[in-house]
Amino acid sequence: MTRELVGTAASPGADSGPVRVIVAEDDLLVREGVIRLLVEAGHEVVASASDPERLLAAVAACAVDVCVIDIRMPPTHRDEGLVAARAIREHHPHVGVLVHSQFIDDAYAAELLAAGDSSVGYLLKDSLLSSSELINAVEQVASGAVVVDRRLVRDLLERSRAANDPLARLSARERDVLALMAEGCTDRAIADRLVVSIKTVESHAHAIFTKLDLTDDPMSNRRVRAVLSWLRS
Amino acid sequence: MSTRRLERAAASPYVWIGSVVIGVISIAGRWLAFPRYDTRTHGADIAQAVSAGSVLVCAYLLARRHPDNPMWALTLGFGLAGLIQDFYGPNRLLWTIGLAASQWPAVFLVWLSLAYPTGHLRSRLDRLLLAWVWAVAAIGAARMFTERNNDPVWRSLLAIDAWHAKTSDVEQAALYGAIPAGLVFLGRLMTRAIAARHGPRRVSIPLLVAAAGATIWFLAQVPFVGRNGFARAIIDDFYWFSLLIQASIPIAFAIGALTGRWSRSVVAALMIELDGAAPGAVEPALARVLRDPDLKVLLRRPDGSGYVRPDGTAAAWDHASVPASRSWAPIGVNANEVGVVLYDAELDAEPDLIRSTIAAARFALENERLHADLQAQMIELRASRTRVVEAADAERRKIERNLHDGVQQRLYTVGMELDRARHAAANRDASDSADGDGVSEHLEQVDAALRTAIEDLRDVARGIDPPVLINRGLEAALRSHTRRSPVPVAITNALTTGLSAPIETAAYYVVSEAFLNAVRHAQASRIAIDLRCVDDELVVAIVDDGVGGADEQRGTGLRGLRDRADALDGTLRIDSPLGAGTRLDLRLPLNAG
């Protein structure tokens, strides 16, 4: 699996250069916090916006790699951020979006990930509480990966135990591998995290694709499809 | 003229004695003017006497029965105009008056026909038409100045010799002026006849036919005017026609008298129909027997707070706002007023019919009023319950907003600061291992506590008002809500789209409450939730296989659900036999909320 679209980037933290970011967040203190966090990690915040309109204007005006977007923004504080993120993916395919939300919702996550098979992330806002989590996600989205919050992944895994769904067919180890895939890890990173060889990871991945009936897909987006099928189940 | 003056005039003997005197002068004058008997003249005189007499009798009877309706005065005016324009002398003063009044019968014919049956003109067009006809009559009256005869007796008192040659000009001017008026009048009569076609307004038909006939006859003569003094011939012909029209008025009244008998049979039919009728049946019954499909009953609230329709819906009622084509009558009087009936103004031609049918329906209407009031109270109750639920929902949304966008955001900023502090402390610990004062460990504990606080806050906010319900609809919200259920939940959804927000909110709370009951108290091993739309209703069933025995009387949860269902005019059925699981059936009409 050398030509995977997801995970072709280097492992977290080993990015080649600063990522250019736009921060969209209506709460001033949170926005300043996020900006400082990114700057301290060596990335470049090219603009910030407090509502979707300014966000879209900034995306059109600046050279940018990733937008970090709060899902709740004016005017109605419902899902304006999500709508804006989908618009950005549609009109500026080279710009990645990382949406964060105050609550987990797989409906939102599924909608967002349906917008594209790359450079998309859905994080719970709790990721702000440890800077490395947010920074990693930004860097991975910048490199083209799909990132899903591990808390959402954990929830989905728990649910799959109860309900009659294809995920129930996975072994415990395969679940671990899938969870790390969803977080955007490469095979190498997964092997490091699980302390196994990369060969073992590859065989687990193959088993996952087979069990989720994803064998006839082109190799390039299998991993993404695996995550999506999970979310949509 | 005010109603009181009209009523006083109707009761005044002078009016009637004066009218009889005018009649005698007119008829006697003709006999004196033509003392030698000839069939044509005297035959016409006899017809004239009979016709004028019966019109006066009709006016008198009308004045006795409905002194407040100007129709009697118009009828009297029509009769007197016919008599006055026939003044022949041998008195020169009478002859002059007769000349001045020569067009009055036509004027009164138009007036009478347009004002029937209320005595009032309804539209600006009618008023314009009448004014035009009066103007034509004024031109015709100019004959007073031109009429000259060699016989001094047949000479107008106001005759001006030099103008004699103008006689035929005056007649032609009046005639041409009358043509457009005649056409418009005919049009109005036709629209009236069409409007009266399906109603009970038979009385007006003879009058309309006679007036239309006269007008058509008059217009048909117009092409011959000016040839060989044809104008004169027309006037002679019109004279005979005016007699016919005068005669038609007593005929119309004869029919009116006959329909009085008809109205008694209407009342009898109504009584039979209303015997044991269901609430709400009176209005359609009245509409049927009076043949007015637009008839409306408005019932007065017993507490005097306004009027309602028989089904209890509020109705604004103000007699000043009733259009001219409608009329109204109270049911009962003053303090005992039950309500009002609004009906086609044409029915005012038969006030006794209206009065007797309303009197016959009154008892049923009193019952109807109590029923309507009860309905109205229920509607108000439901509206106020809906308002309470809506206010509570709005409050929940506000609290949810404040938690998510206020408190939680502040906790995140605290968390970010804490993260920096942790990093700083970790760096210091690393560089200065001797000074291991445990700050990092403390900060780790604070971090864990903060994460728990955020988690708790999220659960609270989500329970108060799930944002996904507003943003993604009922099914998504329910799936999200039941996602972490320890008990397997099957959701089947056959919803179409576009439920209104109040319905989704109500359904969401009913399902989530039932779901929590099943999980917490019923020891269920599986839960099934079914959503579907059936016949304009949202039908939701929540079924579990738990211990059953859910009791609405204990605890407020289930009762609160029933309030929510009631507020949207829906129903909630709870079926929970001991040991056999629980089933909740919620039905909400889709047009509610």
pLDDT tens for residues A159-178?
655 555 667 778 888 888 88
Q: What per-residue confidence (pLDDT) applies to A23?
A: 96
Confidence of residue A220 (pLDDT cuts 50, 70, 90): very low
- Residue A27 shares a structural domain with residue A111: yes
Instruction: Lowest mean pLDDT of A1-10, A76-85, A105-114, B464-473, name the range.
Output: A1-10
Q: Is the pLDDT score of B351 beyond 70?
A: yes
Q: What is the pLDDT of residues B380-395, one digit of tens each?
A: 888 888 888 888 888 9
Q: Is the pLDDT score of B150 beyond 70?
A: no
- Residue A27 shares a structural domain with residue A137: yes
Instruction: Work out the minimum CA distance from B537 to partner chain A, whole angstroms.
Output: 26
Query: What strands lie across the sheet with B296-300, from one edge to the other?
Result: B314-315, B307-308, B296-300, B339-344, B326-331
Residue A117 within any structural domain of the chain: yes
Task: Give me the residue spans of the domains in chain B.
Answer: 3-263, 282-379, 469-593
Residue A140 within any structural domain of the chain: yes
Q: What per-residue confidence (pLDDT) applies to B54?
A: 81
Compare B207 and B542 and report the one with higher pLDDT: B542
Instruction: Write down which residue in A88, A123, A148 finishes a domain.
Output: A148
Instruction: Work out the minimum CA distance from B477 to partner chain A, whole angstroms.
Output: 9
Using CA coordinates, name the residue in chain B closest to A25. Answer: B409
Residue B492 DSSP SS3: strand
Q: What is the pLDDT of residues B96-142, one digit of tens each?
A: 888 788 788 888 888 888 887 677 887 888 899 999 989 888 887 87
The structural domain count of chain A equals 2
Q: Is the pLDDT score of B320 beyond 50?
A: yes
Residue A12 within any structural domain of the chain: no
DSSP state of A165: -
- Residue A35 shares a structural domain with residue A117: yes
Q: Name the interface residues of B facing A (CB cutoff 8 Å).
A: 401, 404-405, 408-410, 412-413, 415-420, 423, 447, 450-451, 454, 458, 461-462, 467-468, 470-472, 476, 479-480, 483-488
Per the structure block, which two tokens stand in for B414? 């605290």
Residue A13 within any structural domain of the chain: no
Residue A126: its chain B contacts at CB < 8 A? 415, 451, 454
Instruction: Lowest mean pLDDT of B220-234, B290-304, B520-534, name the range.
Output: B220-234
- Residue A91 shares a structural domain with residue A191: no
Averaged pLDDT, B2-24: 87
The DSSP result for B92-153, as a single string, is HHHHHHHHHTTTHHHHHHHHHHHHTTTTS--SHHHHHHHHHHHHHHHHHTTHHHH---SSGG
User: Which has the closest alpha carbon to B403: B446, B469, B478, B453?
Assistant: B453
Please tell me which of the candidates A33, A126, A131 has its beta carbon nearest to residue B454.
A126
Compare A36 and B54 and report the one with higher pLDDT: A36
Measured between CB atoms, does A163 come within 8 Å of chain B? yes
Using CA coordinates, name the residue in chain B closest to A38. Answer: B416
Compare B373 and A157 and report the one with higher pLDDT: B373
- Residue A112 shares a structural domain with residue A159: no
Instruction: Lowest mean pLDDT of A9-13, A85-89, A146-150, B476-480, name the range.
Output: A9-13
Max avg pLDDT among B34-43, B142-151, B253-262: B142-151
Average pLDDT along chain B:
80
- Residue A216 shares a structural domain with residue A139: no
Residue A46 DSSP SS3: strand
B565 exposed, middle or buried (CB, 10 Å; 0-12, 13-18, 19+)?
buried
Q: What per-residue confidence (pLDDT) applies to A68?
A: 96
Confidence of residue A4 (pLDDT cuts 50, 70, 90): very low
- Residue A163 shares a structural domain with residue A186: yes
Q: What per-residue confidence (pLDDT) applies to A1?
A: 30
Averaged pLDDT, B79-88: 80
Q: Where are the alpha helices (DSSP H) in B222-350?
A: 230-274, 282-289
Q: What per-residue confidence (pLDDT) applies to B527?
A: 92
- Residue A57 shares a structural domain with residue A113: yes
Instruction: Lowest mean pLDDT of A102-116, A119-133, A206-220, B527-541, name the range.
Output: A206-220
Instruction: Lowest mean pLDDT of B257-261, B349-353, B428-432, name the range.
Output: B257-261
Residue A29: its chain B contacts at CB < 8 A? 409-410, 413
Residue A79: its chain B contacts at CB < 8 A? 471
Confidence of residue B502 (pLDDT cuts 50, 70, 90): confident
Residue B297 DSSP SS3: strand
Compare B302 and B244 and report the one with higher pLDDT: B302
- Residue A64 shares a structural domain with residue A140: yes
Residue type, A81: G
Averaged pLDDT, A32-36: 94
Instruction: Write down which residue in A148, A175, A190 finishes a domain.
Output: A148
Q: What per-residue confidence (pLDDT) applies to B241?
A: 63
Instruction: Work out the minimum CA distance from B418 to partner chain A, whole angstroms.
Output: 8
Q: Is the pLDDT score of B304 beyond 60?
A: yes
Neighbour-count burial for A86-101, b at 16+ CB within 10 Å, e otherwise: bbbbeeeeebbbbbbb
Q: What per-residue confidence (pLDDT) applies to B408?
A: 92
Residue A144: which CATH number? 3.40.50.2300
Per the structure block, which two tokens stand in for B360? 């016959």
Is A128 within 8 Å of B454 when comparing Cβ atoms?
no
CB under 8 Å to B259, separation ≥6 — which residues? Answer: B200, B202, B203, B350, B353
Instruction: Write down which residue in A117, A148, A179 finishes a domain.
Output: A148
Residue type, A128: L
In the block, which residue shows the tokens 């920096």?
B420
Q: What per-residue confidence (pLDDT) applies to B140?
A: 79
Provide, rounded to the nearest whole percent, the portion of chain A with pLDDT above 90. 36
Averaged pLDDT, B10-34: 84
Q: Is the pLDDT score of B376 beyond 70?
A: yes
CATH class entry, domain B469-593: alpha beta
Q: Is the pLDDT score of B200 beyond 60?
A: no
Averaged pLDDT, A25-45: 94
Cα torsion A170, A175, A179, A180 to 10°: value is -120
Is A107 within 8 Å of B468 when comparing Cβ atoms?
yes
Instruction: Lowest mean pLDDT of A55-64, B141-150, B253-262, name the range.
Output: B253-262
Q: What per-residue confidence (pLDDT) applies to A7?
A: 34
**Candidates A102, A108, A127, partner chain B, best to mutate (most B CBs within 10 A):** A102
Confidence of residue A13 (pLDDT cuts 50, 70, 90): very low
Residue A219 within any structural domain of the chain: yes
Per the structure block, which two tokens stand in for A60? 């059109």
Please tell me which of the candidates B412, B462, B486 has its beta carbon nearest to residue A103.
B462
Is A78 within 8 Å of B471 when comparing Cβ atoms?
yes
Residue B201 DSSP SS3: coil
Please tell me which of the candidates B415, B462, B472 has its beta carbon nearest to residue A128.
B415
Residue A183: which CATH number? 1.10.10.10
pTM reported for the whole predicted model: 0.56
- Residue A105 shares a structural domain with residue A170: no
Using CA coordinates, name the residue in chain B closest to A106. Answer: B480
Query: What is B3-263's CATH topology?
Result: Rhopdopsin 7-helix transmembrane proteins (1.20.1070)
Confidence of residue A11 (pLDDT cuts 50, 70, 90): very low
Per the structure block, which two tokens stand in for B485? 């259920």
**In terms of DSSP bridges, do strands B582-589 and B571-575 run parallel, antiparallel, or are they unpaired?**
antiparallel
- Residue A118 shares a structural domain with residue A167: no
Instruction: Lowest mean pLDDT of B190-199, B403-412, B467-476, name the range.
Output: B190-199
Provide, rounded to the nearest whole percent, the portion of chain B with pLDDT above 70. 81
Q: Give the structural domain span for A47.
A: 20-148
Confidence of residue B72 (pLDDT cuts 50, 70, 90): confident
The answer to whether the CB of B540 falls within 8 A of the CB of B491 is no
Q: Is the pLDDT score of B310 beyond 80?
A: yes
Q: What per-residue confidence (pLDDT) applies to B380?
A: 87
Please tell me which of the candidates B413, B471, B485 has its beta carbon nearest to residue A30.
B413
Residue A103: its chain B contacts at CB < 8 A? 404, 458, 461-462, 467
Measured between CB atoms, does A51 come within 8 Å of chain B? no
The answer to whether the CB of A229 falls within 8 A of the CB of A212 is yes
**Candidates B416, B443, B450, B481, partner chain A, best to mutate (most A CBs within 10 A):** B416
ipTM of predicted assembly, 2 dp: 0.79
Compare A96 and A168 and report the one with higher pLDDT: A96
Q: What per-residue confidence (pLDDT) applies to A40?
A: 92
Q: What per-residue confidence (pLDDT) applies to B544?
A: 92
Strand partners for B308: B299, B314
B281 half-sphere exposure, CB direction, 13 A CA radius: 13
Residue B539 DSSP SS3: strand
Q: What is the pLDDT of residues A135-150, one digit of tens each?
A: 989 998 998 888 888 8
Q: Is the pLDDT score of B379 beyond 50?
A: yes
Provide, rounded to the nearest whole percent, the portion of chain A with pLDDT above 70. 79
CA B236 from centroid of its chain's CA atoms: 49
Q: Is the pLDDT score of A5 beyond 50?
A: no
Confidence of residue B256 (pLDDT cuts 50, 70, 90): low
Instruction: Lowest mean pLDDT of B9-18, B73-82, B130-139, B273-282, name the range.
Output: B273-282
Confidence of residue B513 (pLDDT cuts 50, 70, 90): confident
